[in-house]
Structure 1
Amino acid sequence: MSRNLAIGIDIGGTKVAGGVVDEHGSITHRARRDTPHRSTSPAVVEDTIVACIEELLASVEPADVVAVGIGAAGFVAEDRGTVLFAPHLSWRQEPLRSQLAGRLPWPVTVDNDANAAAWAERVFGAARGESHAVVITLGTGIGGALIIDGQVRRGRHGVAGEFGHMQVVPGGARCECGNRGCWEQYASGNALVREARAMIGAGSPVVADLVARLGSDVAALTGPLITEAARDGDPTARELIAEIGDWLGVGMANLAAALDPGLFVVGGGVSAAGELLLGPAREAFKRQLPGRGYRPEARIVRAELGADAGLIGAAELARSGR
């Protein structure tokens, strides 16, 4: 067994996933807990994290562990220790690193979960060898991270990469952030489900296949169900995913104008649609890219590490001290 293990913790809206990660990016042991309800006190969430780590330590020698990395869904300050805001938890200006450091015998680092996922893809996944990459996570919303000169770039205040809240439609759909026309209102899992529900609510006959899959429970409609239907050849499901892909390409063209990356890596649950999503995204990207035809174009690929990226990246950031 390696003596250079790190523990990674990925904290999302529904689960706290933990793993022991070796220096090759392999998860040797896993643990999982439900995320405490958003109204729960910060101390209860910290107890959950510690319990997850304690379960992992039952399977390894504590002396072989060198660091603990936390990837949190929220704004993490430039000090890499304070969670400024977490939408699904009670953290507000929470000094998470110092709170955990008093309970754990290893160095603790805290980062945004998208930054952690991006670092995992940079070291072990789809962005290996690329010095300038934009990693986009398509889930219920859109998150992301920047790799510039081979390093995660977090911005002056630690909160760079909130690409989902770029405005792409002035005066468009209202977003949870309070603004209108945000990118994630048009290119995300929520957008996919919203459009499908609108068609079902309108009684459109072209969604008959989706309705048949749902039976009488229209509320059970999810992004994965639409993706499954698309993979099975349902033309309406494919059209819906292609529309998400179009909007994805538009946003990436905007990011390319500002950042000039060599690579876009698309992860998150919606990326399970594969080329049904990425094909239209590439076409829209080419149409919308400023200076198209006279400049190099970034490649657009699917992430390789799936749901484990955040956990692996948090561990590797902690191990490497980045």
Structure 2
Amino acid sequence: MTAGAPAIGVDIGGTKVAAGLVTDDGVVTARARRDTPHRSTRPEVVEDVIVDVVEELLTAQVTAVGIGAAGFVSSMTGRVVFAPHLSWRDEPLGERLAARLPVPVFVDNDANTACWAEHRFGAAAGERNVVMVNLGTGIGGAVLIDGTLRRGEFGIAGEFGHMQVVPGGHRCECGNRGCWEQYASGNALVREARSLVEAKAPIAADLAARCGDDPALLTGPMITQAAQDGDPTAAELLAEVGEWLGVGIAGLANAFDPALFVIGGGVSAAGELLLEPARKSFRRHLTGRGYRPEARLVAAALSNEAGLVGAADLARRSVQ
């Protein structure tokens, strides 16, 4: 492999497929993006979209393609075992893409790739024990222990979003009830905001105006912007998500005892409107609080590009 050669990273989420041409020091020099096909779409259609964005960026210098996929991914085999927000079920994604692309393909969970990027180039640089929590359509997670990504026996560790926090709670797309991501994710934020607009609650007047009184048009970024503009209801909704985030993180602190939690994904764009309620909730629910060192909670530094940057870096390393 040529020193300094670029790689392509692709981040596949519930709403978008984002790709970037990434240098060996984590700089994205070109970008491409497509909408994620509907979850009921055949797996081959999603594969076509991935190939399309890669080919847009492909140059003779590219040495590998890294894929960060939302779902239960076995990085050892390149198979997507289960994706709650897509139609993949035991999908041999790595094998299929390798047959269609002229360079090696590496597949991992999108939270793993984001965590690796933050460790190499971002908010977790210099830290060896880190838990990443990605708040997007759902919740993804990753664990770095002693400087190494820990993927578990079958390669699918870190699916924190499907820990049950409310027995008998909201139905989750995974099929269970009360999963953490039903209370601390972009979907949870939008669901609660839409319910207020549908009910024509006076406190939701600002949100209703932003979506033209059509709850179906209300999005997470709209809610975040409303909160940043001073709407107290939007700020309260983000604070509720932050409180649930803190509950889950307190449990993860007991399990992994990291020095740092990095909060990424689209919802993290809310910044301190989300993180400060999360820190307060974390401290309130932490076992042994006041008698143990407390992990820090910080926002991801690489924003929405962490997943694709990490995917590219891991792919480059896989062919060295």
TM-score w.r.t. structure 2 length?
Answer: 0.92
Distance across 1 between alignment mates of 2:49 and 2:184: 33
Distance across 2 between alignment mates of 1:180 and 1:113: 23
Conservation of the 8 A alpha-carbon contact between 1:80 and 1:109: no
Which residue number in structure 2 is paired with residue 240 of structure 1? 237
Q: Equivalent of 2:260, from 253, 260, 263?
A: 263
SS in 1 for 2:250: helix
Shift of 1:176: 2.0
Which residue number in structure 2 is paired with residue 157 of structure 1? 154
Go from structure 1 to structure 2 and tell me whether the alpha carbon gap of 1:177 and 1:96 turns closer, same or farther (over 3 Å shift). Answer: closer
Gaps of 5+ in 1: none
Which residue number in structure 2 is paired with residue 26 of structure 1? 27
Shift of 1:263: 0.5
Distance across 2 between alignment mates of 1:8 and 1:135: 19
Which residue number in structure 1 is paired with residue 305 of structure 2? 308
Which residue number in structure 2 is paired with residue 295 of structure 1? 292
Letter in 1 for 2:47: E
Conservation of the 8 A alpha-carbon contact between 1:3 and 1:65: no
Go from structure 1 to structure 2 and tell me whether the alpha carbon gap of 1:78 and 1:215 turns closer, same or farther (over 3 Å shift). Answer: closer
Which residue number in structure 2 is paired with residue 17 of structure 1? 18
Superimposed CA distance per residue, residues 197-231 of structure 1 (whole angstroms, 9 cap, x where no aligned partner): 33334443222222233333232222211111111
Go from structure 1 to structure 2 and tell me whether the alpha carbon gap of 1:225 and 1:47 turns closer, same or farther (over 3 Å shift). Answer: closer
Letter in 2 for 1:288: H
Gaps of 5+ in 2: none
Distance across 2 between alignment mates of 1:241 and 1:263: 22
Q: Which segment drifts farther, 179-188 or 92-101?
A: 92-101
Go from structure 1 to structure 2 and tell me whether the alpha carbon gap of 1:125 and 1:215 turns closer, same or farther (over 3 Å shift). Answer: same
Q: Which segment drifts farther, 292-301 or 31-40?
A: 31-40
Shift of 1:156: 1.1
Matched, 1:227 2:224: yes
Go from structure 1 to structure 2 and tell me whether the alpha carbon gap of 1:177 and 1:39 turns closer, same or farther (over 3 Å shift). Answer: closer
Letter in 2 for 1:239: E
Matched, 1:175 2:176: no
SS in 1 for 2:64: strand
Shift of 1:114: 1.2
Distance across 1 between alignment mates of 2:85 and 2:245: 25
Distance across 2 between alignment mates of 1:154 and 1:128: 20
Distance across 2 between alignment mates of 1:262 and 1:301: 11
Distance across 2 between alignment mates of 1:44 and 1:176: 21
Shift of 1:37: 4.3
Shift of 1:269: 1.2
Go from structure 1 to structure 2 and tell me whether the alpha carbon gap of 1:38 and 1:187 turns closer, same or farther (over 3 Å shift). Answer: closer
Distance across 2 between alignment mates of 1:171 and 1:39: 26
Distance across 2 between alignment mates of 1:22 and 1:41: 33
Distance across 1 between alignment mates of 2:214 and 2:155: 42
Go from structure 1 to structure 2 and tell me whether the alpha carbon gap of 1:17 and 1:105 turns closer, same or farther (over 3 Å shift). Answer: same
Distance across 2 between alignment mates of 1:168 and 1:200: 26
Shift of 1:78: 4.8
Conservation of the 8 A alpha-carbon contact between 1:78 and 1:156: no
Go from structure 1 to structure 2 and tell me whether the alpha carbon gap of 1:24 and 1:276 turns closer, same or farther (over 3 Å shift). Answer: same
Letter in 1 for 2:57: L
Conservation of the 8 A alpha-carbon contact between 2:75 and 2:107: no
Distance across 2 between alignment mates of 1:275 and 1:268: 14
Output aligned runs, 1:1-322, within 5 Å.
Answer: 3-57=4-58, 60=59, 62=60, 64-321=61-318
Q: Which segment drifts farther, 271-280 or 212-221?
A: 212-221
Distance across 2 between alignment mates of 1:65 and 1:228: 38
Computing the radius of gyration over CA atoms, which structure comes out larger, 1 or 2?
1
**Percent same amino acid at aligned positions?**
69
Number of residue-to-residue matches in the alignment: 318
Letter in 2 for 1:52: V
Go from structure 1 to structure 2 and tell me whether the alpha carbon gap of 1:15 and 1:175 turns closer, same or farther (over 3 Å shift). Answer: closer
TM-score w.r.t. structure 1 length?
Answer: 0.91
Go from structure 1 to structure 2 and tell me whether the alpha carbon gap of 1:49 and 1:243 turns closer, same or farther (over 3 Å shift). Answer: closer
SS in 1 for 2:291: coil
Letter in 2 for 1:225: M
Distance across 1 between alignment mates of 2:16 and 2:22: 18
Distance across 2 between alignment mates of 1:35 and 1:219: 18
Go from structure 1 to structure 2 and tell me whether the alpha carbon gap of 1:176 and 1:87 turns closer, same or farther (over 3 Å shift). Answer: closer
